[in-house]
Structure 1
């Protein structure tokens, strides 16, 4: 099992670079950031762009993998996103993971002036978005016409450092999203029940993920793929579980999900006076000692 972190893009770079470097020093496998234009309770405070932040982080670190968690069609187009990912992969010398999902409601869903998409339209768009992005990242020139997204002789030379392209970690819980994960993903992302923490009692949280994993396994079987080929990533912070209260709490939490088949846990870097307000000293102990205490 691997341990990674999410560092919100809320810091001016003079401070932010210290956090990304510290994530590497603590031995995290990867550090991700949210690809939003603003987000929830942080909307009225500092919030910087994901790709520029990750590019800066690539120059400030040497070993740490970097990624979006997650980017979506809400304000992205596959043609421009592919160009940014190719560039970021080059700057980081092949350390990028593209976390990708269909997106949701919220500020990003309407910031460009569009009406919020229905769940069906969101799924329809993602079903077109992901294959086009895959194609753009695999070849020098791409032309494809779609109902939502079109590319006309879109060039991506010299292509990705990672071959055949940067890995996709797909966030999905519904049938179409899980099928796309099985077809295009190198990893799968979940944060638990999409309804939110208030709807799922503490003791039921692991079973939610177990049920999702069973559906992912079925989706892989349908396309002739071994689910074991996929990394399974669990993002902490969206359930009533509190694994960052102590090292022991983390070990208990991590052990439950390791048994289910989760291969990567992602913890939110502490942010004072927010929903991610956790003790930095405990967080660093978890980072350096937590996984070694798993049975």
Structure 2
């Protein structure tokens, strides 16, 4: 199982941000991601830097670690402008970018641009259209024209295209049937945070059972799409299962957590970089010990 991290972009670049991304590479993480929001949950009244400029700066101070969003959504993005940013970011990084992408939710991002929060049905339809158009825009740099219910592209060019061919990889976050179908068709990886129904009051055993069910439904979606399920990486973003910060309590706790989820079939585990005085507070010494001793395994 590969070990990665997600970094909350809350520090000024020259006040700690640059050092964090550089340190993530030094520690041997497979990838370093950041959330793509305008602000998020309990961080709404704290500094929060944009994902694309943060990842571009991170690409310039690293050489090997993969970089990406965890995750981007249609809430305040348009596939045409996002594709242009991604082609540039993939170039600056030398082909190290993964796009984590999901349907979005009903938080601050959903209304920040003055719109009403979309219903679940509309979010799903937008997500499907967003992913399919973005796939074309990144695969066909010579020009894309497409009109849908929500998005349009008119002779859009993204020359010379992605460094990674035929396009940079998508890691699709989904648990419902239509989202899993998108992951099976367009994803190079699938992302989950677990099952919300057991996060608060459930047990670790119930969480594992729920994740086993999600993995089974992903396999079924791949089979329905005529795709080998083994082609998709399976990414678990930790911190939202009943254990919450348990994996970062100690090296032994991490090993128990990682081992149980590796047995289910997960190929990548993403840990939150510790942020003091937040829901992601953890002992930085334990976090670094885990990275040093397990990230290269």
1:180 pairs with one of 179, 182, 187: 182
Q: Check the 8 A contact 1:193/1:200 in 2, yes or no.
A: no
Q: Which has the higher contact order (CA 8 A, sep 6+)?
A: 2
1:124-273 equivalence runs, <5 A: 124-139=125-140, 140-195=142-197, 197-241=199-243, 242-273=246-277
Partner of 1:277: 281
Q: Distance in 2 between matches of 1:240 and 1:258?
A: 17
Q: Distance in 2 between matches of 1:184 and 1:222?
A: 13
Partner of 2:57: 56
TM-score (norm 2): 0.97
Q: How many residues align?
A: 293
Q: Check the 8 A contact 2:4/2:295 in 1, yes or no.
A: no
Q: CA deviation at 1:195?
A: 4.0
Q: Distance in 1 between matches of 2:34 and 2:295?
A: 22
1:67-82 equivalence runs, <5 A: 67-82=68-83
1:288 partner SS: helix
Q: Distance in 1 between matches of 2:295 and 2:7?
A: 20
Partner of 2:43: 42
Q: Distance in 1 between matches of 2:158 and 2:204?
A: 46
Partner of 2:85: 84
Deviations 1:256-289 (A, max 9, x none): 0100000000000000011111000000011111
Q: Distance in 2 between matches of 1:153 and 1:48?
A: 32
Q: CA deviation at 1:239?
A: 1.7
1:243 partner SS: helix
Structure 1 segments, 4+ long, off by >4 Å, are none
For structure 1, which segment, 6-15 or 191-200, has the greater mean C-alpha deviation from structure 2 after superposition? 191-200
Q: Distance in 1 between matches of 2:279 and 2:167?
A: 35
Q: CA deviation at 1:240?
A: 2.1
CA separation of 1:292 and 1:63: change in aligned 2, threshold 3 A: closer
Deviations 1:34-55 (A, max 9, x none): 0000001110110000000000
Deviations 1:94-148 (A, max 9, x none): 0000000001110001111111111111101111110000000011210001010
Q: Distance in 2 between matches of 1:165 and 1:17?
A: 27
Partner of 2:32: 31
Deviations 1:63-82 (A, max 9, x none): 01000000000000000000
TM-score (norm 1): 0.97
Q: Distance in 1 between matches of 2:132 and 2:47?
A: 33
CA separation of 1:163 and 1:292: change in aligned 2, threshold 3 A: closer
2:248 partner SS: coil
The RMSD of aligned alpha carbons is 1.1
Q: Distance in 1 between matches of 2:77 and 2:261?
A: 32
Residue ranges of structure 1 left out of the alignment (5+ in a row): none
Q: CA deviation at 1:234?
A: 0.2
